[in-house]
Structure 1
Amino acid sequence: MNGLYDEFRVAVHSVWTRRWLVLGVAWGICILGWLAIASIPNRYDSRARLLVEINEILPDDAAGGGFGRPQRIDQVRETLTSARNLEKVAVTTGMVAAGASERDKASAIAMLQKNIKIIPQQDNIFEITSSIGVGSLSDADNAKLASAVLDSLITVFRDDQLRGGRVNAREGLKFLDSQIADREQALREVEARRAAFEAANVGLVAGGAGSPAQQVEAARAEIRQIDSQLVAAQAALAAANGQLAATPATINVPGLGATGSGVARQQLAGAQAELSSMRARGLTDAHPDIVALKSQIASLKAIADREGPGGGGGNAQNPAYASLAAMRAERQATVGALSARKTQLMGDIAKINAQQIQNPGVAAEYDRINGEYTALKAQYDKLFAQREQVRLRGDVQTETDAIKVELLDPPTKPTSPAAPNRPLFLSLVLFAGIGGGVAGAFALGQVRPSYATAAKLERASGLPVIGSITEVVTADRHVERRKRLVWLASGAGALVGLYALLLIAEFVQRGMVA
């Protein structure tokens, strides 16, 4: 412990013997540091809070092009710091002249983009901060400029939103109209080419019915439906046949004379009359209704033949049998019609396939023309829908403000610089100067060693020290030392006094800004 204490005393003595070096280094570091701090301009921050409300008059799907509320909020953030707006702010606040060169304007815009921060607090509330620290301006001018930048930015943004929405809607309508006209002209050309191709290839393509591949696919889809319907109709017909076979054609009615029952013949006559009426209307034998009616007439003829020409004694026709016979005839007609339609569709498919095999180039070209037409038609419909949406949005923006800008907190008037923290920096430089002086003196003592005690000299030399001579200080020497101590204290006090003056000047300067 005593050794450490002795080493400390030796270090202090080494520094004290070089006290003028400590003072000189401290003065040098402090002067250079304080000059560097003085060259840093004060930066003043101004803050404002802005509320941007989007009028949801139209639903999101009518906003057009997926331009809903989140996209509008992003647009607000980008528009606030756009180069066009910042150029207007720079000119309005006098940072650059209206006729300044593009280079000067670009420099001012870059400085504003760097020093303007937009922090979204909520979906539609933004905190805007401008930091201004121009070295050529005074602190009061920098503080005023920071607030003026925010005032001008908010004003420019408001004006841009009032005019920009309507201008954008008009420009959008003009662009969409030109695109729609181009698509319409292209559609007409494709339609003319398709009509000419169909006329030149009559019998090879079905005009207006889609491509051959589409026709085959549609026919196959219809056949699949007919197959399921045909299975159900055949099952129903089999059930009707079973019920009819188990039902007697006549029943014995006691007391009934042989009056003859001509119910089947009456039904047959009515069916034949209806058939004649259908043919008179121009229906052919291939019509499904005539096919079904013919089947029903055949069934009724068989029933009438079994009844015979006259009465059946006391027997009368069974109404249940007649009803089942009519039902069976109807189901037979259904099965026949479905089978005929299936046969027709299969014939159409075979015909189309044969045409494609014989003329593969015709089918491919027709498919290409139809594909081109379908693509153009889809683009045309989409553009037309977008045009209607843009028109509606433009009408809304004409009648009302699509975006409402409200200033929640006006730009603050800064009274103290946000940076740099000069009092802290001045103090740090003072401590750095004193510490640098002490460190320099201690380092010089290590390079040029001296021995403050006889024991240290004995350890360093390895030789015994016989004795030491104490310094004798005369009265004149004592006065001289005291004078030098006064000079040293004056130099140190002057350094501290200069530090205090700098602090006072800093606070006075802040008070002048306020």
Structure 2
Amino acid sequence: MKEQLDLLLQYLYGVWHRRRWIIITAWVICPLGWVAVTFMPNQYTSDARVYADTKTILQPLLRGIAIDNDPSQELRLMVKTLLSRKNLETIARYTDADVKTETQDEYEDLLENLKKKIKINSAGKENLFKISYSGGDPKYVKDVVQAALDVFVENAVGQKKDDTEQANEFIESQLADYEKRLIMAEANLAEFKRANAGYMPGSEGGYFNMAEALKRNLETTRLELKEARSRLASAREQLNREIVELRRQGKNNRTEYDDRIDILQARLDALLFRFTEKHPDVRETRRQIEELQVLKRDAIAVGGNVNNDSVVLQEMKLIVSEMENQVASLVVREEGLVSKIVFIEDKLSNLPAVEAELTHMMRNYDVTKSQYNLLLSRRESAMISQNIGASSDQISFRIVDPPLLPREPSGPMRPLFLTVVLILSLGAGIFLAFMVSQIWPVVISPMQLFKHTKVPVFGVVSATEISGLKQVKRKQLKRYAVLCGLLLVTFIGFMAINTSPSIHEMILEAKEAL
């Protein structure tokens, strides 16, 4: 630690011993720097504060009716895009700065200068913004801030109008496209249903219903055919018995009631095949047969008989013929129903494919229709939003502080720059003195002398008045103090000039006159 402290003292003494380089460097750098700072052109700053109100009473009232948008997000986007090239060109046009440029490079430099120096920042509160600009011409500075403020406010209305128009154009084009697709889908669906009417779910003439109805009719027809064949067999048997009975008994024992009894008996046999004894028709037929038999007995008792054998047989044969025709008709009906059922079942094999195609077409139709209805509702919402934008602004601006013509320069910060020049010159001088002390080192202690010469040091001789060394050192110190004082006075003078606007303005005017 002691060695490090000794080394530090050695460096400090070397710098102090070469201190004339510090004052020389300061006197060379400071006047030049201070003059340059003094002659720096004045900078003027103008600013404006604007408040953007994004809360309107229409927002909660129209929620869900008009298109929901976030005015705060739009406002943040406008702040970020204020310094876009389009807006910068508009600002340059508003201030007539573009007409002063002669070449494209000058125009690009103008836009770059506006982009660098126009500042828009939050003023501390929500949606309160500060727009500022600095330059050498007070009027131009104010005009730039006013132009930037106008562009910022106009962008809110223009951007919303452009967005609304673009949204309406896009929705209208999509709506026309989906309308064509919907009409085509409806036409294709109608044609498909017409071509496959029997396959449609829920249709009255569907193949499923037709097949079920044909099967029921076939079952009924087969039952009727079975009944008709049974009646036919019974009638034929009755006819054969009657023929045998006539042949056995002969024709002399028949009366006029026998034929009617035979007919009723055949009817009774047919009724008993279908109904029970308690059926009214069965009872009525038996009653008629019994009455005829009573009449027959009475006729036989009085000795009356009528030869009607040919009429009875003919009637019974007629009945058998009718029953045969009925059986033949039922057979034809059965065959027709069977062929129809085969045809329907063949059609039913194609039903899954038809239903799959119908499902696909209905799905596409439903999607197209839902999108079309959604676009219709969106168009209505867009029209309401457009009407809202035409009647009221979702973002309203209030100019809190308008831009003013600056009366006093806002920069540059000459006192600070003067101080910086002084500090930098002193730092440069100290660095130069240190380097010189390292190139031509000075011995300040016996230990340092011993290290350099390797010769033992037995004593130290101090400077005396008689030698004159102290007088020389005092004179050097006085000259150094005077030079430092003059430097300080010069610094104070430049500081006074640069802090007095009137004096500084006179100096700048004199410079321009020269």
> Would you say same fold, with TM above 0.5?
yes
1:463 aligns with 2:466: no
Corresponding letter in the other structure for 1:48: A
- Per-residue deviation at 1:88? 1.0
CA distance in 1: counterparts of 2:131 and 2:199, whole angstroms: 74
Where does residue 192 of structure 1 map in the other structure?
Answer: 187
Closer, same or farther: CA 117–403 of 1 in aligned 2, 3 Å = closer
Where does residue 333 of structure 2 map in the other structure?
Answer: none
Contact 1:45 1:417 in 2 (8 A): yes
Deviations 1:172-201 (A, max 9, x none): 434322321221111111111111222222
CA distance in 2: counterparts of 1:79 and 1:464, whole angstroms: 78
Match of 1:499 among 485, 488, 491: 491
Where does residue 24 of structure 1 map in the other structure?
Answer: 24
Residue range with higher mean Cα deviation, 488-497 or 400-409: 488-497
Closer, same or farther: CA 99–190 of 1 in aligned 2, 3 Å = farther
CA distance in 1: counterparts of 2:159 and 2:457, whole angstroms: 97
Gaps of 5+ in 2: 205-345, 506-514
SS at match of 1:406: strand
Q: How does 1:312-391 map to 2 (within 5 A)?
A: 358-391=350-383
Match of 2:172 among 170, 177, 188: 177
Where does residue 395 of structure 1 map in the other structure?
Answer: 387
Contact 1:187 1:377 in 2 (8 A): yes
Deviations 1:258-308 (A, max 9, x none): xxxxxxxxxxxxxxxxxxxxxxxxxxxxxxxxxxxxxxxxxxxxxxxxxxx
Deviations 1:151-185 (A, max 9, x none): 11222334444555455544543432232122111
Closer, same or farther: CA 393–508 of 1 in aligned 2, 3 Å = same
Match of 1:96 among 95, 98, 123: 98
- Per-residue deviation at 1:92? 1.6
Closer, same or farther: CA 395–429 of 1 in aligned 2, 3 Å = same
Contact 1:15 1:442 in 2 (8 A): yes
Match of 1:62 among 47, 60, 65: 65
Where does residue 235 of structure 1 map in the other structure?
Answer: none
- Per-residue deviation at 1:19? 3.2
Corresponding letter in the other structure for 1:148: D
Deviations 1:422-464 (A, max 9, x none): 4224213313322432343244324423335667545654334
CA distance in 2: counterparts of 1:195 and 1:101, whole angstroms: 69
1:86 aligns with 2:88: yes
- Per-residue deviation at 1:90? 2.3
Closer, same or farther: CA 364–494 of 1 in aligned 2, 3 Å = farther
Corresponding letter in the other structure for 2:378: Q
CA distance in 2: counterparts of 1:367 and 1:511, whole angstroms: 93
Residue range with higher mean Cα deviation, 182-191 or 76-85: 76-85
Corresponding letter in the other structure for 1:405: F
CA distance in 1: counterparts of 2:195 and 2:503, whole angstroms: 94
SS at match of 2:369: helix
SS at match of 2:99: coil
Closer, same or farther: CA 164–146 of 1 in aligned 2, 3 Å = same
Closer, same or farther: CA 366–97 of 1 in aligned 2, 3 Å = farther
Gaps of 5+ in 1: 210-353
SS at match of 1:185: helix
Match of 2:436 among 440, 444, 456: 444
- Per-residue deviation at 1:147? 3.3
- Per-residue deviation at 1:93? 2.3
Contact 2:415 2:495 in 1 (8 A): yes
Closer, same or farther: CA 84–431 of 1 in aligned 2, 3 Å = closer
CA distance in 2: counterparts of 1:53 and 1:3, whole angstroms: 70
Where does residue 274 of structure 2 map in the other structure?
Answer: none
Contact 1:47 1:127 in 2 (8 A): no
CA distance in 1: counterparts of 2:166 and 2:15, whole angstroms: 80
Given the two structures, how large is their TM-score scaled by the length of structure 2? Answer: 0.55
- Per-residue deviation at 1:371? 1.8
CA distance in 1: counterparts of 2:474 and 2:493, whole angstroms: 28
Q: How does 1:122-271 map to 2 (within 5 A)?
A: 122-123=125-126, 125-133=127-135, 138=136, 141=137, 143-162=138-157, 165-166=160-161, 168-206=163-201
Contact 2:48 2:132 in 1 (8 A): no
Deviations 1:15-38 (A, max 9, x none): 454233222333455467668867
Closer, same or farther: CA 31–369 of 1 in aligned 2, 3 Å = farther
CA distance in 2: counterparts of 1:422 and 1:384, whole angstroms: 66
Given the two structures, how large is their TM-score scaled by the length of structure 1? Answer: 0.55
- Per-residue deviation at 1:150? 2.4
CA distance in 2: counterparts of 1:197 and 1:86, whole angstroms: 61
Corresponding letter in the other structure for 1:26: A
CA distance in 2: counterparts of 1:120 and 1:361, whole angstroms: 71
Closer, same or farther: CA 101–465 of 1 in aligned 2, 3 Å = same
Deviations 1:38-84 (A, max 9, x none): 798776554332223354435132331x3244444445545645543
Corresponding letter in the other structure for 1:199: R
Corresponding letter in the other structure for 2:66: A
SS at match of 1:128: strand
Closer, same or farther: CA 4–175 of 1 in aligned 2, 3 Å = closer
Contact 1:415 1:510 in 2 (8 A): no
Contact 1:50 1:127 in 2 (8 A): yes
Closer, same or farther: CA 22–387 of 1 in aligned 2, 3 Å = same
Contact 1:454 1:468 in 2 (8 A): no
CA distance in 1: counterparts of 2:85 and 2:63, whole angstroms: 29
Please say which structure displays the higher CA radius of gyration: 2
State the superposition RMSD in angstroms.
Answer: 4.8
Closer, same or farther: CA 49–444 of 1 in aligned 2, 3 Å = same
- Per-residue deviation at 1:89? 1.2
Closer, same or farther: CA 102–395 of 1 in aligned 2, 3 Å = farther
- Per-residue deviation at 1:203? 2.1
Closer, same or farther: CA 469–95 of 1 in aligned 2, 3 Å = same
Corresponding letter in the other structure for 1:391: M
Contact 1:93 1:149 in 2 (8 A): yes
Closer, same or farther: CA 98–393 of 1 in aligned 2, 3 Å = farther
Identical pairs, percent: 26
Contact 2:101 2:107 in 1 (8 A): no
